[in-house]
Structure 1
Amino acid sequence: MRRLLGITHLWRVFLACLLCVATPVLAQKEEGQRFEVLGDRLIFDSTVPVDGRELDIRYSDVEDMRDVLRRHPQITTLEINSTGGGHYPSVDLASLVIDFGLNTHVEDTCESSCVTVFLGGEKRTMARGGRLGFHQLSWTARAVEDYYNKNRDRRDWETPFEFAEWMYQDTQTETYTRINYMIARGVDPMFAVQTMRKPDVSMWFPYRSVLIAAGVLTE
């Protein structure tokens, strides 16, 4: 009887260990379902609608991601899925990635300003079938007109020509800042310049071999 009880106890211990090994790490949704903690990974899907609207990358994502990273110090990798969004919030997200020393990974797609966030990673990887999309800086005629009308008094633009002078200088500054950032993150300078050219299509999706050779992907 004593031997039988001993065997029963051993089976219980064995089953408990088996369950510990077999049970997957449960995902923990964070901040309006756009962030999900999965072990040492933070999954950020900016295509998830907020209040029924698809806003993509926005300023509130910066505060949300900072809070999640502070609450989960075990996170080492940001897995991002995004078709882009605000340029300046993306720059702020990239700063967080760099400051927390995260790796970055793309499972599906990362386009436009999302690439800025991705390049913040120390190690940068992409799943087979994933895509990284680049395009030059652009500003539609309607957006230019709206910006001028909203800001001409505050900036003392007496004529549209003064606005054009400012816009010409600002465009050069933004282009320099973007290229300089890419080079600082280990991207080949010639590739960085290529992302500024007007492509044959609206979005340029380089082959994996090109991304590795250019230093965009680290492996």
Structure 2
Amino acid sequence: MRFIETPGWGRPVKAGLCAFAIGATGFVALSPLTKIMASVPAPAFTSQSAASSSEPTEADTRVALGPGGRDIRLAGDLTEGVAARVAALLAANPNVERIHLTSDGGLVDEGQALGALVAERSLTTYVPDVCASACTLIFVRGRTRFLAAGGQLGFHAPYELGPGGQFEAVDPGAERAAYLAAGVTPDFVARTMSVAPEDIWIPDPAQLRAAGVVTEMVANDRFPDSTLDADPSLQGARVEILRNFPILSAADQAAVDEAAIWYRDGYLAGRTEAEAVEGLRQRASAAMRRQFRAADDTTIRALGLVVLTDLTAAETCDAVAAGDLITLDETLKRVRPGSAGLAALLARQAPEIRNREVRLGHRLVPSICTGLIKAVRRALTRTPHEAALALRSILLNDPPALFASAAHP
């Protein structure tokens, strides 16, 4: 049984995967489990013939109709029967125009069958995150082929599993012909077929465009969000929120649950990823403002010290003016590597900040931020309780206070 799969290459966080160059060929080998390996781990399929408890099953691959019946979402390995499931969904939904692909690869026969379906229906193909190995046999058959910014396509030669699960090279003629028939340039195809089965080549967007693999790179506001394609449950939404906004682990969990409902409902309604991210940032910021407003005076004073002394004036001004504690948290982690961010203040785990003496030296700040800096500086010269009251008004109002008036004596 022929495979083109990327064993062990799990779906990445949205930020992208880690790829590492090896040698002068420009190939890259990828493994999500370690940053030093030059090849991927052992294959997910351990046998050609007999299924085992560790072998992926049809149920592991999700095939579903997207919002409005305009697209199909495929998330998971190309196991036996996946093409038949997609064919049935297409037959029942004649208005489908596009297929979203998130897959590490799998059976060549399934990839080729799905590619034929895509070509027959003249579907657009779209990869929001990752499409590797046999999945690319589907992608290249699209009438128009879209890759999300930050998304990745991975290529290598097909193989069979021999005794003991060893990789065995096979004649790549059928796969070569499929890529060429899709209009991919011969030099790109040749390079693809030269990549060892245990390795993977991840071309950059310019290479993909030049070779005719990708029609257009698109931002995350172009198509409905595909982040929850593999698990559109409320728990799946909650996991994605906490993975992207870990500071919410310190927030009231009812707020996280409310955000998960909003996120999942928007996904089902066809909201774009850009809209989802912006909405979640606003909800996360509001939840953290509520959490800090309920904190003790020492914690609020520590927050004021962070704003005044640890962040640059421009970053502070923009984030606080928007009431955006998420950006403040992200900036703090960036300027203080290893920091737990604002969550440490709520958890009383940042004594180096909480116990710091106020030393308010002057510094040059952009004029647009002068009011904010003066307001925080003045607040921190007061008694601890009065400082906390003033800082709650300055930093945690919903919407934020006008800092210019607060800065005057």
Give TM class, smaller chain.
Answer: 0.5 to 0.7
Distance across 2 between alignment mates of 1:136 and 1:74: 35
Distance across 2 between alignment mates of 1:200 and 1:76: 33
Say which of 58, 65, 83 aligns to 2:104. Answer: 83
1:133 alignment counterpart: 154
Show the 5 A alignment for 1:38-187: 38=66, 39=68, 40-46=70-76, 56-142=77-163, 171-172=170-171, 175-187=172-184
The CA RMSD measured in Å over matched residues stands at 2.5
Q: Runs of 5+ in structure 2 lacking a partner?
A: 1-57, 217-409
Distance across 1 between alignment mates of 2:157 and 2:174: 13
Q: Deviations over 1:78-109 (max 9, x none)?
A: 01100011111111111111111111000010
Residue 208 (1) aligns with residue 205 (2): yes
Alpha-carbon deviation of 1:124? 0.5
**Cα distance, 1:68–1:141 mapped onto 2, change above 3 Å:** closer
Residue type of the alignment partner of 1:190: D
SS of corresponding position for 1:79: strand
Distance across 2 between alignment mates of 1:70 and 1:139: 32
Alpha-carbon deviation of 1:139? 3.5
Distance across 2 between alignment mates of 1:176 and 1:141: 20
Distance across 1 between alignment mates of 2:110 and 2:160: 17
SS of corresponding position for 2:105: coil
> % of aligned pairs identical?
29
Distance across 1 between alignment mates of 2:105 and 2:164: 17
Contact 2:104 2:131 in 1 (8 A): yes
1:34 alignment counterpart: 62
2:188 alignment counterpart: 191
Moved over 3 A (4+): 198-201
Contact 2:127 2:151 in 1 (8 A): yes
Residue type of the alignment partner of 2:64: E
Alpha-carbon deviation of 1:217? 0.3
Q: Deviations over 1:60-79 (max 9, x none)?
A: 11111111111111110001
Contact 2:195 2:201 in 1 (8 A): no
Distance across 1 between alignment mates of 2:141 and 2:211: 15
Residue type of the alignment partner of 2:63: F
Alpha-carbon deviation of 1:143? 6.0
Distance across 2 between alignment mates of 1:209 and 1:200: 24
Distance across 2 between alignment mates of 1:179 and 1:87: 12
Residue type of the alignment partner of 2:163: R
SS of corresponding position for 2:106: coil
Alpha-carbon deviation of 1:198? 3.2
Q: Deviations over 1:132-185 (max 9, x none)?
A: 00012233542688xxxxxxxxxxxxxxxxxxxxx99xx33xx22211211111
- Report how many aligned residue pairs link the two structures: 155
Contact 2:101 2:131 in 1 (8 A): yes
TM-score (norm 2): 0.36
Residue 217 (1) aligns with residue 247 (2): no
